[in-house]
Structure 1
Amino acid sequence: MGHSNISIFVPHIGCPHMCAFCNQRTITGTEKIPHADDVKRICTQAMSEVRDVSQTEIAFFGGSFTAVPMEYMLELLGAAQEFIGSGKFKGIRISTRPDYISREILDILKENHVTVIELGAQSMSDTVLAANERGHTAEDVEKAAKLIKSYGCFDLGLQMMIGLYKSSPDDELETWSKIAALSPDTVRIYPVVILEGTKLGELYKSGEYKTMEFDEVVDICSKFLSDAERLGIDVIKLGLHASEVVEEQMLGGFYHPAFRELCEGRNYRKLITEKLEEHGGLDEISSAVISVPSRQLSKAIGQKKANISYFKDLGVDIKIVSHEDNEKIKIHEVKMRGGEK
C-alpha cells in the first residue's frame, strides 16, 4: 500500500517574506484559516476513509509552518496528537522555510510526532535567491538540512524551483548538485509558473524576465529525475499540480498538467537512443521493436506517442511493446537501411 497524506492547508499568515513568485497573500484572503476543531474534524473523517492509516501522515502544507506564531503552531500540532499512534496515522508532515529551523523548533516538532520536514530551498544560488526575494541564503538551506538530519528522527524533504528570475541552466545544475549532496529522502521539483499579482509577473510583462525554452526545462528536469532514481531520492512531485488559480492567473512559465509524464518520456527517449546506438545508430537503422516492462509502457511511448513521432522524424520506425520481467529496455528485430540485421 502506498503512502498518502491528509492535507491541511495553512495559509501564509506567518510567512515573513513576499517571494517574487508567490501570490499566496492574495489567495489567503479567500482561504479559511484552520484551527484545532478543523484539524480534529478532518482527521476524524479521514480515519474512516483512508485504506491504510499506518502509511498515512497528517500534512500541514501551504505556508511556512514553523514561521506562524508559536501558539498557533502548537494549537495545530496539539489537535493532531490524538490521531497518531498504534492503529492510527504514522505521524505529521510539515513544510517550512530553512531560516525558521532551530534546535528549539526541532525539539517541539519531535515531541509532537512530526516525522517529515520539507524545506523550501528553491535555489542554491544566492544571486537567484536574492533576485526572487526569498529572504534566506543557500547556507541557510544547508545548515537547516544538516540540523534536521542530525536528529535522526525526521525524513528530510527539499523543494526546488526551475527557471526562476536570473537563474540559468548552469544555476539549475548547481542547485540540483547541492541539493542531492544533502541526501534528502524526498524532493519536489517545481518548474516556475508565473502568476498574475506577483513580482515575477510584473518583471515578465515588462520584458525584464526572460524564461528558458519549455523543451530545455523538460530536459533539465528529466535529468534530475534520472539522477534522483540513481541516488535513491524519491521525487514525490514534479511539476505544479493543476488548479483553478494556475489556469486563471498564469502569465507564463512551464506549466503542463502532465509534466512528470513528459520528463519520464524524455528519459525513455534517451534510453532508446542509447540502445539503438549499440545496434548501429540512428543513421543506419530503419526500424526496430523495443520492449519495456508493462508498467513502463506509456512512459516509453511518450505522451501522445511523442517518442514514436520523434524517432520517425529521424527516419527510424520503432514499435514499443511490453515484456514481463524487470529489465528496463530490450531491443528486437532491428532492421538496417541496407537490409536486416
Structure 2
Amino acid sequence: MSRQIEFLHPEPLPRTGRVWPVFLPFAGCPYRCLFCAQDRQTGRDAATLREARDSLVRDLESALAAGHGPYELAFYGGTFTALPAPWPETFLALAARFRDAGLISRVRCSTRPDCADPASLARLRSLGLDMVELGVQSFDDQALAASGRGYGGETARQGCRAVREAGLALGIQLLPGLPGDRPGVFRRDAGIVAGLAPEIARLYPCLVIRGTGLASAWECGRYAPWTLERTRRELAAALPVLWAAGVRVVRVGLAPEGALERDILAGPWHPALGQSVRGLALLGLVEDAAKRLGQRPMRLNVPRRYQGELFGHGGELRGEYAALGLPQRAIRYADSAGFVLL
C-alpha cells in the first residue's frame, strides 16, 4: 500500500471585505528617511489635508449612493497619529458618519512606532479607529540608524506594545535590505514579528528610488541593495515563520502605482514578487512533505485556490517540482482544503 502525506497550507485565512485606501503622502511625518519616496510609491502628489478630506467625502458619497461596500477605510502614506489637530479627529468623524450609513466596516491607519503612545491611541480608538499599522521597517538599531529613522529597536517594540495596550489591532511593516543590513538581520526581524503576533504584516524589500537620499548613497557606492534572488529566498523563508504565528502577510513588494517603476534605479523590483515568493514558500512546504514521505513522490493533489502560485511566476518552479518527481502531469487540482502527496 502506497504511503501518503496530507497537510494544510499554514497561511491564515484572509479577512473578507475590501480595503478603501486613502493616501496622505508625508502628512505628519517628522522625518524624511533615507529610502522614502511616498509621493512615487502611492502614485499621488502631495495634497493638502483639506483637499484629501473633500475628495474622500465626494468619493464615499458616490459609493454610498451606488450601493457599494462595505469597505475598510485605510489611511496610508503619512503618520496619521502625528497629523496636526484636529485632522485625526476630522478623518475619524468622517469615517464614523459613513460607518453609521453602512458603507464603512472598519478603520485603520499607518504611523511610526515613535508616534504611538497608548493614551493618544486609546483616544483615537474611542473615536472609531480599529487598527494601526506600524512602519517599523526593522528592529535592528544599526539598520534603523543608517536609514535615518530617528528611533531604535526598543522604541519599535514599545510602539507595538502601545498599539496592543490601546486595544487596537496591530499591523507591522518591514523593509528588508535597509542600509546597515547584515546577514541574519531580516531573519531576526521576522522572528520578532512572529513573537509579537500582529494581525497582519507587509514585507517591502528596500528599493533605490529616484530623488531619495538612498539614491545618492547608491550612486556613490555607499549602498548595495539586495539582489532579486536573495530577496525571493529570504522572504520565502520568512513566510512560514509568520504564518505559523497566525500572521497574515497581506503584501510582498510594492504595488506598481503611478510612476514608481519608472523611478526605481536599483533593487529587487518585480511586478509579481509576491506570487514568486509565495510560490517558493509553498515549494518548501512540499519539499518538507516529500522528506516525511520517505520515498520519491508520484503525485501531488493541490487545493484549487493555490493553482496560481504553485509553480511560481511564469512557471519558474516547474524544474524544481520535476526534480522532486512531480512534473506537471503529476499535479492534480481539486476543490479540497488540504494537499495530498503520494
Asked if Structure 1 and Structure 2 have the same fold, meaning a TM-score greater than 0.5 normalized by the shorter chain, the answer is yes
Larger Rg computed on CA atoms: 1
Q: Does 1:330 align with 2:341?
A: yes
1:88 Cα shift? 3.7
Q: Of residues 299, 309, 315 in structure 1, which corresponds to 2:309?
A: 299
User: 2:120: which partner in 1?
Assistant: 105
Contact 2:172–2:201 (CA under 8 A) maintained in structure 1: yes
CA 1:128/1:318 → structure 2, altered by over 3 Å: closer, same or farther?
same
Alpha-carbon shift at residue 196 of structure 1 (Å):
0.9
Per-residue CA deviations over 1:275-316 (Å, capped at 9, x if unaligned) read 4444566xxx5x83322111112221222112212344x485
2:84 corresponds to which of 69, 94, 113: 69
2:7 corresponding residue in structure 1: none
Q: 2:48 aligns with which of 8, 33, 54?
A: 33
Structure 1: runs of 5+ lacking an equivalent? 332-341
Is 1:3 the counterpart of 2:17? The answer is yes
Deviation per CA, 1:41-94: give whole Å up to 9, x if none: 2221232457441xx222111111112212233332233321123734123211
Superposition deviation, residue 161 in structure 1: 0.6
* Counterpart amino acid of residue 228 in structure 2: F
Moved more, 72-81 or 239-248: 72-81
Task: For residue 291 of structure 1, give the secondary structure of its aligned residue in structure 2.
Answer: strand
- Provide closer, same or farther for how the CA distance between residues 69 and 186 of structure 1 changes in structure 2, counting only shifts above 3 A: same
In the TM superposition, residue 262 of structure 1 has moved relative to its aligned partner by 0.6
CA RMSD of aligned residues (A): 2.4
In the other structure, the counterpart of 1:144 is 159
Q: Which moved more, 1:208-217 or 1:186-195?
A: 208-217
Asked if structure 2 preserves the Cα contact closer than 8 Å seen for 1:96 and 1:119, the reply is yes
Give 1:231's aligned amino acid: A
Contact 1:161 / 1:191 at 8 angstroms: preserved in 2?
A: yes
Alignment correspondent of 1:169: 183
**1:337 aligned partner:** none
Letter aligned with residue 301 of structure 1: F
Would the aligned equivalents of 2:68 and 2:103 in 1 still touch at CA under 8 Å?
no
**Unpaired segments of 5 or more residues in structure 2?**
1-14
Deviates more, 1:16-25 or 1:154-163: 16-25
Higher relative CO (Cα under 8 Å, sequence separation at least 6) belongs to 2
TM-score, normalised with respect to structure 1:
0.86
Q: 1:280 to 1:111 in 2, by over 3 A?
A: closer
Correspondence list, 1:1-341, <5 A? 2-24=16-38, 30-35=45-50, 36-49=53-66, 51-53=68-70, 56-85=71-100, 87-152=102-167, 154-278=168-292, 288-312=298-322, 314=323, 316=325, 318-319=327-328, 320-331=331-342
Q: Mark the CA change 1:25 to 1:135 in structure 2 (over 3 Å): closer, same or farther.
A: farther
The SS at the match of 1:188 is strand
1:21 is displaced (CA, Å) by: 0.5
Q: Measure the CA separation in 2 of the matches of 1:51 and 1:227.
A: 37
3-state secondary structure, aligned to 2:142: helix
Amino acid at match of 1:259: L
Q: Distance in 2 between matches of 1:11 and 1:311?
A: 43
Aligned residue-pair number: 323
Structure having the higher strand fraction is 1
Give TM-score, length-normalised by structure 2: 0.86
Residues 234 and 279 (structure 1), Cα distance of their counterparts in 2 relative to 1, 3 Å cut:
closer
The structure-2 alpha-carbon separation of the partners of 1:104 and 1:327, relative to structure 1 and needing over 3 Å to count, comes to closer
Per the TM alignment, residue 317 of structure 1 is displaced from its structure 2 partner at its CA by 5.7
